[in-house]
């Protein structure tokens, strides 16, 4: 699956569970690590876990499995790495503190 289609599938999965403040950054010109970084806020630790589970389950149906899944069971940040797309699921506090948008968005 192309990176763009993979990113769209991830965004659709997150939207179904009402992820807050979804943003997708195209970072392909900034790094060779990934093409897209998806950053969303969850309303609670359970919501963050549910968002991660939904993305993994939806892509698993397409025989796409994450390369890495970090932070499960934490309350602040879960990272799902699909290679071409990295998904950051964060609490509002963690998102403000780490401010990934400013680090990775070349337009800011």
User: What does the pLDDT average to over 78-104?
Assistant: 93
96 has a pLDDT exceeding 90: yes
pLDDT tens digit sequence for 4-33? 999 999 999 998 888 889 999 999 988 899
Least Cα distance to 28 among 54, 2, 9, 52 occurs for 2
Q: Provide the whole-model pTM.
A: 0.91
Architecture of the domain made up of 3-97:
2-Layer Sandwich (3.30)
Domains in the chain: boundaries: 3-97
Angle (CA) 57-61-66 rounded to 5° is 55
> pLDDT, tens digit, for every residue of 53-79?
999 999 999 999 999 999 877 778 999
């Amino acid at each position: 699956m192309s990176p763009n289609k993979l990113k769209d599938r991830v965004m659709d999965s997150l939207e179904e569970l009402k992820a807050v403040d979804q943003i997708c950054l195209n970072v392909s010109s900034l790094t060779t690590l990934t093409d897209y970084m998806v950053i969303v806020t969850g309303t609670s630790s359970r919501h963050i876990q549910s968002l991660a589970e939904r993305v993994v389950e939806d892509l698993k149906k397409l025989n796409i499995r994450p390369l890495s899944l970090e932070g499960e069971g934490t309350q602040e940040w879960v990272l799902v790495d699909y290679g071409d797309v990295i998904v950051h699921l964060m609490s509002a506090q963690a998102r403000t503190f780490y401010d990934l948008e400013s680090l990775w968005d070349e337009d800011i």
